[in-house]
Structure 1
Amino acid sequence: MKYMRLNTPKFCLILLLFCFGMQEVNAQKASWIWYPGDFDIYMSNVMQNRRTERGSFFPPFWKMDSHYVLVDFHKEFNLAAAEKVKLYVEGAYNVKIDGQALFGFPKTITIPAGKHKLSLKVYGQANVPAIFVQGKTVVSDNTWLTTFEDKEWIDASGKTSDKSGTTFVNAGTWNLTDPLTPPSKFKLPVTPMAAVKTEKNGAGFVSDFGKETFGFVKLHGLRGKGKLMIYYGESKEEALSTDKCETLDALEIDLSMKKDSVIGLSKAFRYVNCQHEGSVSLDSISMLYEYAPVAEKGSFKSSDVELNKIYDVAKYTFQLNTREFFIDGIKRDRWVWSGDAYQSYLMNYYSFFDAPTVKRTLWAQRGKDPVTAHINTIMDYSFYWFLGIYDYYKFTGDEKFVSEIYPRMKSLMKYINGRQNKNGLLEWMPGDWIFIDWADKLSKEGEVSFEQLLYCRSLETMALCANLAGDVAGAAAYTKHAATLRTKIFDLYWNNDKQALVHSRIDGRQTDNVTRYANMFGIFFDYFTPAQKLAVKQHVLLNDNINKITTPYMRFYELEALCAMGEQAYVLKEMKSYWGGMLNLGATSFWEEYNPAKKDTAHLAMYGRPFGKSLCHAWGASPIYLLGKYYLGVKPLTAGYQTYIIEPSLGGLSWMEGKVPTPEGDIEVYCSNKEIKISAAVGEGKLRFKSSSKPVVKNATVTEISKGLYEIVVKKGVDYSVKYAAVK
């Protein structure tokens, strides 16, 4: 391989890929590393700018940041013997051992025995500066330190400063362990899939792949000269609508011999309508299904066949929207929306428990300083980002990540605090989008109570993370601010006559409007007194006069609030009606919005377009979370499930069983009206349940904590079988 000179146009990307035979048997595992968050931001830019709308480029609405172009990597090693080390680098680079630069662009070096510091400085404009270092013990991983600026100085004698103001942080990685596949070449895996049915349609044909799917269309036996039009549809109606379908490909063909070809951009579809002109002919199509290789860890099964199908379809919906990041929907946006991703994190903890994708998505959403707008330009979406970090720590116990991302939390919160009005509240300012939900006539005017609740919870999250990051002064300030705001919320928004939080204040006065949003969040945030919770449940959540929610996005939170109030039986009926209603209409994945009052193709329309609605939307998969947290009843009490609680609730089911994943293994639950079985691979838990008679369990002590409410301590690695009588 010839080296590029530094004065050539391509010198910003020098990729040295060398293979030196078999790795030593005892060599430690190396991975590609970069400045933390940089590849996440780069890859999210690549992914989000793949969106097209009827063949036109459709970029995101918000500011997109980039990676740092010059990055220093280093680590100190203490070697028992000299060690040969292989270097793979993406970018132009230099190498230093103990501060002494090596000549040229070495692809292999020898580090002498003893204590030495290995440093690489890498420049990359087009791609993220990244390194892969492989020796027997000298390997690149996230213990390496990195920086994007050397705050060094040199005196007149040429001596480098003894002290530096440089901030070094641990390197980032996606566990990319193939030195011959650098980060810029990363792709999700694919697997072949065939259409289940093909019908002739005009000059071409329509192929049905049986269910919603995602990937690359493969053309078989393509030949001739002319145009080939491919129209994609999540529904057959969309694929047949050549002038209104959301996505399409227009190909100019000039082939004298038959050829198989793969379409360049991945798409979401169930149906594919192929139409050709001129002498173009095509034998058939298949697809390469593109997927994220996540393991299915969580599970749920019950006595209700329809509920089991809802769970399975929800899990498939979520899997389709789990890609390099958690995205909103696979057909239209394919963007990293913070509100959508926040729900995906929660579903993930009860299904795949894929912590790396959560971290990647959080890095990608946040981007770089300086902060000039809310995440995705949406005020509430900035707050969901904070909440996502709180939940990540609660479920995983990963303090290191919290410390790494805390500086970017501080700068975003500083931006938000700077936008308070004279009352210390937040309201719309130029450049803001207050979303809340897709709902007709939902006012965003004035000081909206929902935004203040999310703001308060985000300040509480900042206090928690400040303590984890060692910022004692910050923790105290955030705690005080949150307490002040929480008091203010109830002073300004609680209405005794309505027994609820009102929707907003305009010109310093409460509006008459009561909506579900702030009230249901106040329940599972545990902001209400017991009396207020009961009042909100009666006057808001179970009140048909309050505007109903029609998106799965906010149904997620509405049903969670009801579950938190012990209404599992009611919620079960709602799940069967709402998600079952989509299944009855032929859904193979769950939608962005579902209104039972709509008829026929009206279910496909949104945003003023006949096929604008996403029929595979991440926020449609919320039964995964509800069934794991509130029916199987498994919840962490302390970070990483070191302590947890299991409160199974059948909600009208005869029996249910399932697994909830944790960082150290699964918690398995079986529950019927007569028996509860528990097995856990983590921490120490409490099984809490109601019984009309005293329960019997052989290997644990049963404690009655109140009349009819019992508890046993669950130890790691012990199987429990509890005989009891469920309270009806």
Structure 2
Amino acid sequence: MNCRNAIFQRTIWFALLLITCTTQAQPLFNGEPHKGGAPYVAAQATWIWYPGDFEIWLANKMQNRRTERGSFFPPFWKLDGHYVLMDFHKDVELSEPEQIDVFVEGNYILKLDGKGYEGTPQQVTIPAGKHRINVKVFSTGNVPAIYIKGKTIATDSSWLVTFEDKEWIDETGKTSDISATTWLNAGSWNFNEPDQRPSQFKLAVKPQSPVAATKNNGSLLVDFGKETFGFIRLHGLQGNGKVSLYYGESKEEALATGTCETLDRVQVNLGSKKDSVMQLSKAFRFVNIQMEGGASLDSVSMLYEYLPVASRGSFRSSDESLNKIWDVAAYTMQLTTREFFIDGIKRDRWIWSGDAYQSYLMNYYLFFDVPSVSRTLMALRGKDPVTSHINTIMDYTFYWFLGIYDLYQYTGDKTFIRQFYPRMQSLMNYCLDRRNKDGLMQGLPGDWIFIDWAAGLSKKGEVSFEQLLLCRSLETMAICAGMVNDTKNAAMYKQLAADMKAKLFSIYWSDAKNALVHSRIDGKPTDNVTRYANMFAIFFNYFNNEQKQAVKKHVLLNDSIQKITTPYMRFYELEALCAMGEQKYVLNEMKNYWGGMLQAGATSFWEEYNPSKQGAEHYAMYGRPFGKSLCHAWGASPIYLLGKYYLGVQPTSPGYTTWTAEPVLGGLQWMEGKVPTPHGDISVYCSTTQIKIKGGEGTGTLRFKSKTKPTGKGVVINSKGDNLYEVTVEAGKEYEIKYKN
């Protein structure tokens, strides 16, 4: 592709987003128009659309950019589209006439109090008084969207929108009653200027240079020093011939011209030197550039492509190897946080619900970028009717529900639930309709039971792990139904969850095995015990204390139970152990497992890691020598573990209105870090003799153990017995406690 100067202009566009893209969605419109004459603070105008439609449109663009050795490689599942006809409106009350500027993506008619203006006006004056502004937009290629700005009138999430106004006119000319129409608050994402059109969205880019380049007989091997993502740029390209680019997350992959996963080919016919930027962004560390015929080039660089979102969370400790693990985990998250939370940057560059669910949790301890969570949830859900599980995977459907529950717990924002509760219902109805005669989930034709990449893992029959995830999803539905005042269904979901939990233990719990067994086949529980359902039941708090201790001993710390080799499920295994106070054990596991990847040359964390493999064996997966992703979102879980279970910070009521900090050193001499919240950070420092803490919002409870009576100047320390102490942490105040670990 010829050099595109426009690419550099994106960086300017996104410098503005760097500040705004982490802003939370505004609260739902309360239905009250602004009263002229009352104090007024002008709202920021932004582009608006039907909630979820831009996200679906953008996901379609992103997920269909995947190529495999130059071939188009689309997703495996059904893709929905945006609604093509949209009706926007806002009721206003003005004390004086007001001129508004109108910008629209699509064909449109602008109405005032039901009467349309001629043509497609870009500027109109709204008279004083009470009025309804209405814009109806049609667009097939892009999402129907509008941007309106006046002195007091501005498009934002308080505007209402529908894809079906159910309007008609009778023979007398009377307009129908449209009270049956369902209106939602408009969606938006900080496209805050008229020329920042949603249809023109692109990620930001910035130039980067390689750290080394080696020439050899018409070829050039370029090393960018670490895993990265973006557009390769060829400088000084000229001649008549062909240039082939072979990308590699490893040197071995880049040199394997016949089996590397991604490549580009450029036909050159240039009399004078010219720069060329590749059309599609790629993941790589190394690029092997082969020149044939008379083609030549001077040098190579790249345009690093990224979502401008700031890292708010941090972690440092007395253990430098652990610090390195945290840094690489954070970099892995940066690379996989793009238009949406994706799985891996080489393949698939798709939105997988199981991968994304872990990204949400890690995001809350690193970026706290709520729009990225909401966008990803919207894109995954798509539209009705539901014809298959999300990503065709049963467990991935349930992770979608869990993601909504966590979104509310960490942010306190009910907007997503209020807007998308009907889609939650229809997806849950799909699941409930697929239960068997015993009310259990069992794989049906078209269902993929994934759980984990594990050799020989049985997916037959009624798998306990799926029942457990359904139970948690039903609990989520009960909570969300209550938020939208759907009391009848709230009671139904609560009862269904209770019934499912009872079945989980009556069918799968084995006193002989001291654990939940893996499955039931033909009405009989199997003897097979796996880690999955057992570790989830620990941090879901489904076990009593006796069961927890039994599972820890007989499953989690039992080497005869099949081991987990993916960071994906190591995430949950280590969380379960942390939830039971095994931070010292988990710290060693993190250093061995993630540290093992670093020793094997990782610069971002992988999709799978088996310490028994050697050299290039690490890169193989899916029957391909370089099929494995060496930058996978689910590899970044130390961010979450260190923030929640070592710094010990988590919300105890939605949006950190109340929260706890229970720092656990786990063998470290000291640690410090920040955990982001909706409106501030919580800072924690802990050593073997001192704790310092400061909260940015809400009311916190610092909880810790001390072998001696702790002290602190001006600090009220409450003893809870058994060497346990608590301190109430008020927002904005810093506390310092002397104690003995």
TM-score (norm 1): 0.96
2:738 aligned residue: 723
Moved more, 65-74 or 463-472: 463-472
Structure 2 Cα separation of the partners of residues 468 and 699 of structure 1: 40
Partner residue of 1:548 out of 547, 556, 563: 563
Structure 2 Cα separation of the partners of residues 185 and 202 of structure 1: 42
Moved more, 650-659 or 82-91: 82-91
Structure 2 Cα separation of the partners of residues 470 and 678 of structure 1: 38
Q: Report the Cα offset of residue 204 of structure 1.
A: 1.5
Structure 2 Cα separation of the partners of residues 638 and 375 of structure 1: 29
Q: Trace 1:462-473 onto structure 2 (pairs within 5 A).
A: 462-473=477-488
2:497 aligned residue: 482
Letter in 2 for 1:562: L
1:4 aligned residue: none
Matched, 1:392 2:407: yes
Q: Trace 1:43-122 onto structure 2 (pairs within 5 A).
A: 43-122=58-137
Partner residue of 1:259 out of 271, 274, 278: 274
1:3 aligned residue: none
2:254 aligned residue: 239
Structure 2 Cα separation of the partners of residues 156 and 441 of structure 1: 69
2:432 aligned residue: 417
Q: Report the Cα offset of residue 155 of structure 1.
A: 2.1
Q: Report the Cα offset of residue 163 of structure 1.
A: 4.6
Matched, 1:705 2:704: no
Q: Trace 1:155-554 onto structure 2 (pairs within 5 A).
A: 155-554=170-569
Q: Report the Cα offset of residue 26 of structure 1.
A: 8.5
Q: Report the Cα offset of residue 363 of structure 1.
A: 0.2
2:620 aligned residue: 605
Deviations 1:20-74 (A, max 9, x none): xxxxx98642111100000000000000000000000000000000000000000
Q: How many residues align?
A: 702
Q: Is the 8 A contact 2:105 2:142 kept in 1?
A: yes
Letter in 2 for 1:637: T
Deviations 1:528-549 (A, max 9, x none): 0100000000000000000000
Q: Is the 8 A contact 1:85 1:111 kept in 2?
A: yes
C-alpha distance 577-118 of structure 1, shift in aligned 2 (>3 A): same
Structure 2 unmatched ranges of 5 or more: 1-39
Q: Is the 8 A contact 1:27 1:135 kept in 2?
A: no
Structure 1 unmatched ranges of 5 or more: 1-24
Q: Is the 8 A contact 2:241 2:291 kept in 1?
A: yes
Structure 2 Cα separation of the partners of residues 707 and 40 of structure 1: 51
Q: Is the 8 A contact 2:165 2:178 kept in 1?
A: no
Structure 2 Cα separation of the partners of residues 378 and 176 of structure 1: 34
2:591 aligned residue: 576
Q: Is the 8 A contact 2:661 2:701 kept in 1?
A: yes
1:29 aligned residue: 44
Q: Is the 8 A contact 1:26 1:136 kept in 2?
A: no
Runs (4 or more) in structure 1 with deviation over 4 Å come to none
Deviations 1:160-183 (A, max 9, x none): 124521000000011111211311
SS at match of 1:402: helix
Letter in 2 for 1:631: Y
Q: Is the 8 A contact 2:366 2:639 kept in 1?
A: yes
SS at match of 1:597: coil
Structure 2 Cα separation of the partners of residues 257 and 377 of structure 1: 51
Moved more, 702-711 or 668-677: 702-711
Q: Is the 8 A contact 2:166 2:178 kept in 1?
A: no
Q: Is the 8 A contact 2:51 2:185 kept in 1?
A: yes
Letter in 2 for 1:377: T
Structure 2 Cα separation of the partners of residues 596 and 708 of structure 1: 40
Deviations 1:416-438 (A, max 9, x none): 00000011000110010000000
C-alpha distance 26-665 of structure 1, shift in aligned 2 (>3 A): closer
TM-score (norm 2): 0.94
Letter in 2 for 1:709: L
C-alpha distance 390-27 of structure 1, shift in aligned 2 (>3 A): closer
Letter in 1 for 2:632: H
Q: Is the 8 A contact 1:189 1:292 kept in 2?
A: yes
Deviations 1:516-562 (A, max 9, x none): 00000000000001000000000000000000000000000000000
Q: Report the Cα offset of residue 251 of structure 1.
A: 1.3
Deviations 1:61-119 (A, max 9, x none): 00000000000000011112211111111111100011100001111111111111111
Letter in 1 for 2:551: V
Q: Report the Cα offset of residue 154 of structure 1.
A: 2.0
2:23 aligned residue: none
Letter in 2 for 1:454: L
2:33 aligned residue: none
SS at match of 1:713: strand
Q: Trace 1:4-19 onto structure 2 (pairs within 5 A).
A: none
What is the Cα-based RMSD across aligned positions, in Å? 1.0
Structure 2 Cα separation of the partners of residues 563 and 224 of structure 1: 61
1:140 aligned residue: 155
Deviations 1:467-518 (A, max 9, x none): 1111111110000000011011000000000000000000111111000000
Deviations 1:366-410 (A, max 9, x none): 000000000000000000000000000000000122111111100
